[in-house]
Structure 1
Amino acid sequence: MLYIGVDLGTSAVKLLLMDEKGAIKKIVSKEYPLFFPHPGWSEQKPEDWFEQTMAGLKELVAECDKSQVAGISFGGQMHGLVILDKEDQVIRPAILWNDGRTGEETDYLNQVIGKDKLSEYTANIAFAGFTAPKLLWVKNKEPENFAKIEKIMLPKDYLAYKLSGVHCTDVSDASGMLLLDVKNRCWSEEMCEICGIRKEQLAQIFESYEVVGTLLPEIAQELGLPGNVKVIAGAGDNAAAAVGTGTVGDGMCNISLGTSGTIFISSRSFCVDSNNALHAFAHADGKYHLMGCMLSAASCNKWWMDDIIGTGDYATEQAAITKLGENHVFFLPYLMGERSPHNNPNARGTFIGMTMDTTRADMTQAVLEGVAFALRDSFEVARSLGIHIERTKICGGGAKSPLWKKIMANVLGIKVDMIESEEGPGYGGAILAAVGCGEFASVEEAADKLVKVVGTVEPDPELTVKYEERYQQFRQIYPACKELFDKII
């Protein structure tokens, strides 16, 4: 049988066709625009997602035996606010995960409602990128649109609805809305009241591997697929990537170096850190996970290479880097503000430490190291909870860089495992589709059988010591700049 994974990203939708043995048969990618109507705002049109997904699906299955396609599932960008009216039409462009407009609403939730209550209700505190602050922003700034809301959805769930006709979501993606009682895997009555919404406006909750329905007849006909193709709920991109890298079960770790960056730690039990510096979410395997998320990771390198120094030759630029662990230039990678662990939308990207002999290679190196240091900030929170991590998987576009993987291994001081497929969310979505169709008994069984480690980057003891000193310097920079960031926005 064949299974489709749909990775709805920020810049493109990537569609993946996988057989029952885990072999990737074809990958198709379709781009769509990203809009920045005001500084710090980030929006997309859900209609663009669906249009390009349909185009991608047609191309994906054009040459395969369509009768063998059994299921389709998703990994999708999290937190985005999609609102539909009573005719199920999109009311306004989706407000995305990296949108920073909700400062007032986030402050209201954290300071007036209170972090303790939010943590009690949802296991998390408010971050500017979460969905609930976006809802409050629409309520406060666009009351005419708020009054039209019939359904509140997340990005990938809009695709699932368009394909199946079912208003659905899954526990992992819903965890990032600040509307879900994560521990009990149900909507929070208290948060609905705080946001001025009814539970009926929210989608039906499924586990990530559960079937929500089948393709609508008109969709199946347009795609040339059987009408009984199952639509499986899927997961938020990070949970889907974790499935795709085999980060399921207890105490497993995955680092994603995509547009954003995450450190993802799976757990069989529910756990919250005392300062809510890490997100405590439900996992796609039916259990839980902790996650630290930085808003700009591989996008920092893309910004530096494409927009600042103007070259697409990433390999040549990285080949010029020769001073690992000895760089005196530091970079704070907060180009879109920051989430974990600082929770500060006003934070900004910053170079510090340049001198007259600073080279272009030093600054390129600082960008790569800055992302690694920022991920270690979240890693340290996990360590403070007594979580012992000796190795991690890695995925995302940044994971294709041997140099960046070496930096990551030595900054964190752990082994970094490379897997056969680097298509994290899309591959995870396809695995969830296979589980939903009964190909495997559980997500853990599927991951054990399908995900293969093909190499490991070992930390170098001498380099790890050097990076320890550099990290201790790095972690002092943000506190020194924080007050200034708040003044220069």
Structure 2
Amino acid sequence: MFYIGVDLGTSACKFLLVNEAGEVCHQVTREYPLSMPHTGWSEQDPALWWKACLDGIPALLQGFDAAQVQGIGIGGQMHGLVALDAAGEVLRPAILWNDGRTAKETDYLNNVIGRETLSRYTGNIAFAGFTAPKILWMKEHEPALFARIAKILLPKDYLVYRMTGRFATDYSDASGMLLLDVEHKCWSKEMCEICSVQPEWLATLYESWQFVGCLQPEVAAALGLPAGVRVCAGAGDNAAAAIGTGTVGDGRCNISLGTSGTIFISRDRFGVDATNGLHAFAHADGGWHLMGCMLSAASCNKWWMDDILKVTAKDYPAEQAPITEDKLGRNPVFFLPYLMGERSPINDTDARGTLIGLSMNTTRADITQAVLEGVAFAIRDSFEVARSIGVTIPRSNLCGGGAKSALWGTILANVLGIPLDILVTEQGPGYGGALLAMVCCGRFATVREATDALVHVSRTIQPDPALTARYEERYRKFKQIYPTCKALFKELAD
């Protein structure tokens, strides 16, 4: 039997065909453009995601018996606002997770409604990327379209809707809307009233592995699949990636170096830190998790390599080659990785990328190293928030495109001072989606049973005490840069 895992990303949709043994038998990727009509804006047409499915899934099945496919699970980019009218048609391009237009709305929620109130209702404060501020922005700036809203979905839920005809979401993805009472796993009546959201606009809530519906006959035919294929609710990308990396159960951790960067700490009970610097969300395993999310991680390296140095991905290793072991922890150049503003833990849409420490002796490799280190230091910021509330993180998994760089893995292990495990199969949210589909179809009784059986460590990056000590000193200096620049960022934005 086969299971399809879908990773609905910001720049591409990735499809995995996974067998009962957890082996990835085939994978296909379909890319699509990102629209940035104004500085700080980030939008996408949901039709592009569906087109990727219509093209990608049949290509995925080539050479395989489609009749053996049992289920589909989707892990998707979180927080995006997909507004539909009464006919189920998209009203406007989806406003994505990394969109920064909602500074005013975020400020209103945090400082007028109040952080304590928001945390009481949802377990979280407002971040510009969350869905609720986008809804308020749409109400203010596009009132005619707002008046036509009949349903509000998240990106992966739009694909579930197109596949099954049902409006569904899961707790992990819904946690990032700022409309869910995360602790009690229900929609917050108070937040709906604050954001002028009608309860009927919201999708039915499910656990991530739960069955939503079978493929509609016409959709099954278009995808080249049997009509009986089961579709589960799926999960937000980070929760799905955590399933795919076996980050299940209390105290397990996963760090992802994707377009965004995340530190994901699985917990068996709900809890928040004093400043809400970390998100307190539901997990796809039925529990909860703490998560720090930085808006630009591997995308910082891509920006530096592609847009500034004008090299291609195959040249990335050559650019990193001059960064030898003796240079680690000794770089005089620092980089703030806030190219799109920042979420965790500073929550500042005005923050911007910054290089500091340049001199006439600075080399191209120094700046490349600073970019990699800056991302690692920013992840450490969230790591420190978790530590401040007594969370112990003895080790972590490492996944995402950035994890392919041995140098970056070494830097991160030593900045954090913990071992980082690299997995045998690391396919991010798509693999987690496939495992959720297995549980949905009865292949495994629980998510934990699935991950224990199928997720295995390939190798471990061990920190070096001497290098960790050097990076500790560098991190203390890095920590001073943002507070020093904060007021200037605001002034420049104004």
For normalisation by structure 1, the TM-score amounts to 1.00
Aligned to 1:381: 385
Matched, 1:370 2:344: no
**Aligned equivalents of 1:135 and 1:273: distance in 2?**
26
In the alignment, does 2:418 pair up with 1:439? no
Distance across 1 between alignment mates of 2:101 and 2:34: 16
Where 2:347 maps in the other structure, the secondary structure is coil
CA distance in 2, matches of 1:223, 1:275: 46
> Which structure 1 residue ranges, 5 or more long, are not aligned?
none
1:123 aligns with 2:134: no
Partner SS, residue 397 of structure 2: strand
* 1:424 CA drift (Å): 1.1
**Other-structure match for 1:210:** 210
Distance 1:332 1:53 in 2: 36
Deviates more, 1:34-43 or 1:62-71: 62-71
Work out the CA distance in 1 between the residues paired with 2:239 and 2:69.
24
SS of residue matched to 2:467: helix
Offset of residue 227 of structure 1: 1.0
> Aligned partners of 2:74 and 2:223: how far apart in 1?
17
User: Is residue 361 from structure 1 mapped to residue 365 from structure 2 by the alignment?
Assistant: yes
Alignment partners' CA distance in 1, 2:438 and 2:199: 30
Structure 2: which amino acid aligns with 1:400? K
1-structure distance, mates of 2:63, 2:207 = 32
1:319 corresponds in structure 2 to: 321
1:415 and 1:223 map into 2 onto residues whose CA distance is 42
- The residue type equivalent to 1:421 in the other structure is T
1:16 — aligned with what?
16
> Runs in 1 of length 4+ with deviation above 4 angstroms?
none
Residue matched to 1:283: 283
Quote the Cα distance in structure 2 between the aligned partners of 1:357 and 1:320: 15
The residue type equivalent to 1:267 in the other structure is: R
Amino acid at match of 2:245: T
* Residue 63 (structure 1) shift: 1.6
Return the alpha-carbon distance in structure 1 between the equivalents of residues 223 and 470 of structure 2: 55
After superposition, what is the alpha-carbon deviation per residue over 1:153-199, rounded to whole angstroms, capped at 9, x for unaligned? Answer: 00000000000000010000000000000001110000000011111
- Once the two structures are TM-superposed, the CA of residue 126 in structure 1 deviates from its matched residue by 0.2
Distance 1:168 1:248 in 2: 23
Find the counterpart in structure 1 of residue 254 from structure 2. Answer: 254
Alignment of 1:295-334 (within 5 A): 295-312=295-312, 313-322=315-324, 323-334=327-338
Map of 1:471 onto structure 2: 475
Q: Which amino acid is 1:294 matched to?
A: M
1:421 aligns with 2:405: no
Give the letter for the 1:187 counterpart.
W
Q: Which residue pairs with 1:485 in the alignment? A: 489
| Secondary structure of the corresponding residue to residue 471 of structure 2 | helix
Report how far residue 225 of structure 1 moved. 1.4
Cα-to-partner distance string for 1:176-225 (whole Å, 9 max, x where unaligned): 00000000111000000001111110000110000000000101112221
2:409 counterpart (405, 416, 423): 405
AA matched with 1:182: V
Q: Report the secondary structure of 1:128's partner residue.
A: coil
Partner Cα distance (2:214, 2:425) in 1:
28
2:181 corresponds in structure 1 to 181
- 2:159 maps to what in 1? 159
Alignment-mate amino acid for residue 467 of structure 2: L
Counterparts of 1:357 and 1:8, CA distance in 2: 43
**3-state SS of paired residue (2:355):** strand
**1:388-441: per-residue Cα shift (whole Å, max 9, x none)?**
111100111001000000000000000000001121100000000001101001
Whichever residue aligns with residue 372 of structure 1, its letter is: A
* SS of corresponding position for 1:263: strand
Task: Give, in angstroms, the shift of residue 62 of structure 1.
Answer: 2.1
Q: Give the partner amino acid of 1:251.
A: G
Which residue of structure 2 aligns with residue 228 of structure 1? 228
1:87 and 2:91 are equivalent in the alignment? no
Alignment deviations for residues 22-74 of structure 1 (CA, whole Å, 9 cap, x no partner): 00000000011100010000000001110111110110112211111000010
Whole-angstrom CA distance in 1 between matches of 2:33 and 2:306: 17
Unaligned ranges ≥5, structure 2 = none
Q: Which residue matches 1:30?
A: 30
SS of match in other structure, 1:293: strand
Q: Identity, % of aligned pairs?
A: 66
Can you list the C-alpha shifts for 1:55-106, whole angstroms capped at 9, x where unaligned? 1011011221111100001000000000000000000000000000001100
Residue 455 in structure 1 maps to residue 459 in structure 2: yes
CA RMSD across the alignment: 0.5
Aligned equivalents of 1:182, 1:458: Cα separation in 2: 35
CA distance in 2, matches of 1:351, 1:224: 50
AA paired with 2:422?
A: M
Aligned-partner SS, 1:3: strand
Q: Residues of 2 paired with 1:386 and 1:224: CA distance?
A: 50
Residues in 1 aligned to 2:128 and 2:92: alpha-carbon distance in whole angstroms: 19
Give CA deviations for 1:320-349 in whole Å, capped at 9, x if unaligned. 112100001000000000000000000000
Question: Could you tell me how far apart the structure 2 residues matched to 1:167 and 1:51 are?
Answer: 19
Q: Deviations over 1:333-366 (max 9, x none)?
A: 0000000000000000000001110111000000
Q: Which amino acid aligns with 1:356?
A: M
SS in 2 for 1:476: helix
Q: Give the aligned length.
A: 489
Secondary structure of 1:475's aligned partner: helix
Between the aligned partners of 1:71 and 1:401, the Cα distance in structure 2 is 33
What are the residue-to-residue correspondences of 1:95-114 with 2, within 5 Å? 95-114=95-114
CA distance in 2, matches of 1:397, 1:115: 34
Alpha-carbon distance in 2 for matches of 1:89, 1:304: 38
- Stretch of structure 1 that moved more, 60-69 or 390-399: 60-69
Matched residue of 2:458: which SS?
strand
